[in-house]
Structure 1
Amino acid sequence: MVRLSVDMIAKSSTCLKNKGNCSLAQYLKKLTHLNFSNKNIEHIDDLSMCKNLTVLYLYDNQITQICNLNFASNLTHLYMQNNNITQIENLSALQRLYKLYLGGNSIMVVEGLEGLRELRELHLEGQRLACGEKLLFDPRTLLSLSESLCVLNISNNNIDEIWDLVVLKSLTHFFAAGNQLEDIKELEVVCSQWPQLCQMDLSGNPACQKPKYRDRLITVCKTLVDLDGKEINDMSRQFLLNWKASKEAKKKMKYERIRTAQMVYPFPDGVVRRSL
């Protein structure tokens, strides 16, 4: 089993090149960035000597469990995409974590992020799920991220509804391409509750084939500037807003005419009859 350990760090070419005359302990204490991507690592050993670590690259390995990171209270960026991780766990000590990359693993539930008040980006695209399974969300985790999370990537995870995500009030970028989202009304309601949303990608979902899909989302997402990789300019948005206002005005006028007619010509069965 290949383990990421202090000994492995000490034998790395980066350490041998940069350590200079200082001791290994001094070098590890000063270390802020550590890159051990694509090294066939299966386990993380005790790295508590790296107390000032801020960025850790461990993508493209064989890691099955997030562990032994409690020491990394200064960590801001964690890259663990394309491993064999099945559960988000043991991250509660990373109070300064800003970006978390976990795409391409085998995670079934988005959980274990309670208390990470500084987390701004969460990348969970392309989980390797069993046939018929979809990525699920723990409401407690979503609520804990409601004020901080700005970027969420959940593309290609068989997701068919996003009602639970409505609490993420600070989202600016939402990527959910290649899922099974179909309900346009649901998308309108949820996205309208994200007042800072500026970029969204829903390409490859069944909803994209529905009539007026793009128009409907543009009119409810007032700050959106990019939808499915296509820019939204002010002129097209204003045209759609005017069109929607006109449509609603006509609908209201029709309702008022029917209501007035019912008041003037009331019938017991509630039907308005026209005189010949």
Structure 2
Amino acid sequence: MVRLTLDVIGKSKNHFKKKRGLSFPEYLKTLTHLHLSGKNIEDIGDISMCRNLTVLYLYDNQITHICNLDFASNLTHLYMQNNNITKIDNLFTLQKLSKLYLSGNRITVVEGLEKLCELRELHLENQRLAPGEKLFLDPRTLLSLAESLHVLNINNNNIDDIKGLTVLKELKHFSAADNKFHRMEELEEVFNHWHQLTRMDLSGNPVCKKAKYRDCLITVCTSLEVLNGREINELTRQFLINWKASKEAKKIKNDQHMTTGQLISYPLTSDFNVGLGPHPAHIHSHANVQRWKPQQSLRA
């Protein structure tokens, strides 16, 4: 088992470039970037002497638990993708964190980020989930990120429902390729709230097989510049927006026409078509005919 300690940092050829006149402890205090990817690290020990860290690279290791980072109050970038992490926790003190990379782990619930008010990017793609499992995003965490999050990547996580993401109104880049989205109406409902969105990737979802799904999303996300890796031509966007507006106006006009027609025809129906019995004049006429019928001649 490899435990991340100060000794591991000292033995790393990438790091202990001792500055002239500095002892090792003094050197550690000057570190702002720590590169320890691919070192078979399974656990994070006490490295609190690196108190000025702003960027920490721990990807491609064997870490199972996020811990002992509470000292790093200046940390802005944390790279922990491709480890064995199952739970997001112990990050509440990292209030300057702006980019968090946790893709390729074993996370099933996105939680524990409620204190990270500066978080701009969250990368969670390709979690190694058990068969039938899907990534769940805790509503409390989403609400806490509503004003800060600009980039969200949840590719390939068996997700089939994104209604909870509606609160993320500051999103600019959204990647959700290779999931299970199939209801266009649900997507429209969410995207109607994302007025800052410029890039989106939904490739590999069932909804992409629906007719004119791309045209529909372009008219809903009016700020979108790139969809599924393809740029959106501004002339095409305006044409589709105008076409949609014309179609909706025509529908409203038809609905109004049908409503007016119903109001005019309804009294006519009630007067003449409903079974209210024969007209009194008809009854009177019939009675007269019966009384007028001549008697049979007595001379016959």
Counterpart of 1:4 in structure 2 is 4
User: Deviation per CA, 1:39-98, whole angstroms, max 9, x where unpaired?
Assistant: 100000011100100000000000000000000000000000000000000000000000
Give the whole-Å Cα distance in 1 for the aligned partners of 2:7 and 2:262.
86
Partner of 2:290: none
Counterpart for residue 206 of structure 2 = 206
Post-superposition offset of 1:246: 1.1
Q: Is the aligned partner of 1:22 residue 2:5? A: no
Structure 2 match to 1:57: 57
Q: Check 1:196–1:267 CA distance in 2 against 1; reply closer, same or farther (3 A cut).
A: same
Alignment partner of 1:266: what SS?
helix
Matched, 1:155 2:173: no
Measured in 1, the distance between the counterparts of 2:243 and 2:267 equals: 36
Secondary structure class of the residue paired with 1:78: strand
Distance in 2 (CA, whole Å) between partners of 1:135 and 1:267 is: 58
Query: Which residue matches 1:227?
Result: 227
Q: Per the alignment, in what secondary structure is the counterpart of residue 17 of structure 1?
A: coil
CA RMSD of aligned residues (A): 1.4
Q: Which amino acid aligns with 1:136?
A: F
Q: Aligned letter for 1:186?
A: E
Code of the residue aligned with 2:197 in structure 1: it is L
Secondary structure in 2 matching 1:94: coil
Written as runs of structure 1 = structure 2, the 5 A alignment for 1:113-262 is: 113-262=113-262
Q: Distance in 2 between matches of 1:138 and 1:265?
A: 54
Q: Return the offset for 1:13.
A: 1.3
Structure 1 unaligned segments of length 5 or more: list them: none
Question: Which runs of no fewer than 5 residues in structure 2 stay unpaired?
Answer: 274-300
1:46 match: 46
Deviation of 1:269 after TM superposition, in Å, equals 7.8
TM-fit CA distance, 1:15: 3.3
In structure 2, what is the equivalent of residue 78 of structure 1?
A: 78
**TM-score (normalizing by structure 1):** 0.96
**Separation in 1, partners of 2:101, 2:227:** 23
CA distance in 2 between partners of 1:121 and 1:197 (Å)? 14
Aligned residue for 2:34, secondary structure, equals strand
Question: CA contact under 8 A between 2:123 and 2:154: conserved in structure 1?
Answer: yes
- Of 256-265 and 90-99, deviating more is 256-265
Give the number of aligned pairs. 271
TM-score (normalizing by structure 2): 0.88
Q: Could you list the runs of 4 or more consecutive aligned residues of structure 1 that deviate by over 4 angstroms after TM superposition?
A: 267-270
Q: Deviations over 1:243-272 (max 9, x none)?
A: 1011111101111111111121115989xx
Give the letter aligned to residue 249 of structure 1: A
- Alignment partner, residue 95 of structure 2: 95
Task: Read off the aligned partner of 2:56 and give its amino acid letter.
Answer: L
Structure 2: which amino acid aligns with 1:233? N
- In 1, Cα distance between equivalents of 2:241 and 2:44: 53
| Percentage identity across paired residues of the two chains | 65
Question: Contact between 2:15 and 2:34, CA under 8 Å: does it hold in 1?
Answer: no
The alignment partner of 2:240 has SS state of helix
Q: Rg bigger for which structure?
A: 2
The residue aligned with 1:35 is 35
- The 3 A distance-change label for structure 1 pair 269 and 4 is farther
Quote the offset at 1:129 in angstroms.
0.3
